[in-house]
């Protein structure tokens, strides 16, 4: 990637980052996990900052071959892939991911804006294509649209007994009573509700809620579970601990 192109993108990110980070009062976001395959570390720092503010956990790889190995082993909601990678080109990374059966939505992020480049990537299995420099509002909108598409539901609403979670707005209610939840509490709750009646291993919760480079305290998940139990109270579903394995949500 050329230095001038990278510099333009970073300036664009810095100009728009403060706009993206202003949330409406009372709004909350769900932690979902995104893999960014990009060799421009300055660009990635800006994207990670913005995505974290929007409620996403972000893993970063600069090497396409290593990203191909990591992608199928983690619960990613989206992959953001740059075409101008050193070593293995981005289009080849895309081709191998799809040939290996990877079904995670892939957003191409690149300075190559010619129609032939877009057509080739879409034919190789890309889900969307965004040319640098770009507006962060558009980037966020494309990210959220692809994540919703990957889940197979445009406006997901989860229910377990009297508990309702509207995932698109991260709004949780028990009956008519709204719950005040932090974003990682919402993330844990969504995973448990998506698997209500089934065991969810602690390792899976850690994998989906935290990024690779985030420090995770030994009792972090236990702390979120304890907070959720307190907030759900006697009217909400129960969260049972299966010792040594994980957690199980059930209606009372």
CATH code of residue 206: 1.10.10.10
pLDDT score for 150: 67
Boundaries of domain holding 89: 3-151
Q: Which residues contact 69 (CB under 8 A, 6 or more apart)?
A: none
What is the residue-level pLDDT of the chain in tens, covering all 252 positions?
A: 444 333 344 444 443 333 333 333 333 334 578 999 999 988 898 888 888 877 788 899 999 999 999 888 777 889 999 999 988 999 999 999 999 988 899 999 888 878 888 889 999 999 999 888 888 878 888 888 888 776 544 445 788 999 999 866 778 999 889 999 988 898 899 889 988 999 999 988 887 787 666 678 879 999 999 999 999 999 999 999 999 899 999 988
**pLDDT given for residue 65 in this prediction:** 93
Domain boundary among 151, 184, 209: 151
Domain identity same for 147 and 162: no
Count the alpha carbons within 13 Å of 87 in the hemisphere toward its beta carbon.
12
Cα separation of 107 and 116, whole Å?
17
CB-count burial class (<10 Å; 0-12, 13-18, 19+) for 252: exposed
Token digits for 184?
């990682």
- pLDDT value, residue 194: 85
CATH number of the domain bearing residue 143: 3.40.50.2300
146 and 176: one domain?
A: no
| The pLDDT of residue 240 | 96
What's the confidence (pLDDT) of residue 26? 38
| Confidence (pLDDT) at 82 | 94
- 93 and 170 together in one domain: no
Regarding whether 175 and 193 lie in a shared domain, the answer is yes
196 contacts 249 by C-beta, under 8 angstroms: yes
The per-residue pLDDT for 168 is 64
Q: How many residues does the chain have?
A: 252
Prediction pTM value: 0.56
Domain boundary among 127, 151, 175: 151
Report which of 177, 157, 180 is spatially closest to residue 169, judged by C-alpha positions. 157
Spatial distance between the Cα atoms of 52 and 179, rounded to a whole number of angstroms: 22
Question: How many domains in the chain?
Answer: 2
Q: Are residues 53 and 130 in the same domain?
A: yes
Q: How far apart are CA 232 and CA 105, in angstroms?
A: 33
Instruction: Check residue 156 and give its pLDDT.
Output: 59
Yes or no: say if 72 and 100 are a contact pair by the CB < 8 Å rule: yes
**Which alpha helices (DSSP H) does 60-159 contain, by range?**
64-70, 90-99, 115-124, 136-151
């Amino acid at each position: 990637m050329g230095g001038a192109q990278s510099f333009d993108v970073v300036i664009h990110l810095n100009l728009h980052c403060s706009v993206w980070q202003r949330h409406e009062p009372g709004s909350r976001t769900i932690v979902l996990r995104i893999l960014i395959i990009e060799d421009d570390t300055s660009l990635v720092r800006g994207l990670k900052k913005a995505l974290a503010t929007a409620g996403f956990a972000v893993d970063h790889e600069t090497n396409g071959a290593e990203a191909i190995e990591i992608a199928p082993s983690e619960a990613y909601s989206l992959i953001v892939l740059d075409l101008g990678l050193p070593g293995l080109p981005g289009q080849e990374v895309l081709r191998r991911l799809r040939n290996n059966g990877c079904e995670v939505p892939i957003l191409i992020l690149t300075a190559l804006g010619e129609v032939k480049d877009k057509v080739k990537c879409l034919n190789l299995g890309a889900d969307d294509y965004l040319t640098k420099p770009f507006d962060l509002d558009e980037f966020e909108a494309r990210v959220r649209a692809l994540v919703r598409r990957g889940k197979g539901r445009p406006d997901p609403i989860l229910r377990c007994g009297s508990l309702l979670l509207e995932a698109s707005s991260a709004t949780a209610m028990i009956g008519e009573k709204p719950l005040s939840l932090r974003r990682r509490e919402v993330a844990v709750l969504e995973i448990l509700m998506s698997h209500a009646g089934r065991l969810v291993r602690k390792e899976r919760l850690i994998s989906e809620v935290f990024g690779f480079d985030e420090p995770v305290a030994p009792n972090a998940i236990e702390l979120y579970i304890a907070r959720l139990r307190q907030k759900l109270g006697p009217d909400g579903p129960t969260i049972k601990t299966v010792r040594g394995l994980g957690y199980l949500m059930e209606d009372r």
